Amino acid sequence: MKIGIALSGGGARGIAHLGVIQALQEEGIKFQAISGTSAGAIAGAFIAQGYSPKEVFDIIASTGILKSVRPAWSFSGLLTLDGFKEVLIKHIPHQTFEGLSIPLTVAATDVLQGSIRYFSKGNLITPILASSCIPALFNPIAFENSMYIDGGILDNLPVKPLVGHCDFIIGVHTNPIGKKVDLKNMREITERSLLLAINMNSGISKSLCNLVIEPPQLANYTTLEISKAKEIFEVGYTYVKQNRELLQSLILV
């Protein structure tokens, strides 16, 4: 059985992908294809390269994704991803999709065309950066005669590249909508508005999955709480372990 896994964006919440994958691997589940957006593209690239979830977590914890960004001082964004680019090159030195151990697809939003684009060949690093480029926070990424931003804007759970190529598709969505919001906190309102929009474009993608994993406890964390990375990892891991019955048709050992 060919199993594919789609990993959503989610900022710091995306660290839960690593916990989910750790638990799935412990159940003997292996992936033959991976697709990802933003945080999911980052996690997916490292896993596709051959790193274990715990190794990826250590890379993220030791380098600090937010510590790796640098001021851009431009009107299009506040920060650049140049620092994170160096992290990717260090740990994935071949820098190509073809060099990965597992086929990977990365989703990014083409600003000029107003459409989603799925990358799976050639240059690996730039599409990952483009997919992670949160509007207004990071500068858009110029690539192949266009400009790209966060893939989550148009496809936060990139399942479509796996449809027709996998026998079973797992979607891991890390953006549940909580019921509490401080209406006096502009940051919370802005983040919640973005999450609501993202969840709208994820609905169809979820319907294309054979199994959707979406730990509800992730609603307790914001997309920028990288300082709670360990907790977020455990949320993903524990959710799969506590809902092991969902995996019965996939457990191979």
Q: Which residues of 3-13 are buried (b: 16+ CB within 10 A; e: fewer)?
A: bbbbbbbbbbb
- The yes-or-no answer on residue 76 being catalytic is no
Rounded Cα–Cα distance for residues 214 and 175 (Å) = 8
Single out the catalytic residue among 8, 35, 131, 150: 150
| Residue 88 CA to its chain's centroid (Å) | 15
- CB within 8 A of 95, min separation 6: which ones? 88, 89, 123, 124, 125
Single out the catalytic residue among 8, 38, 131, 202: 38
- Residue 119 to residues 30, 107, 152, Cα–Cα distance (Å): 22, 6, 14
Rounded Cα–Cα distance for residues 223 and 101 (Å) = 29
Paired with 37 in beta bridges are 107
- The yes-or-no answer on residue 150 being catalytic is yes
Active site residues: 38, 150
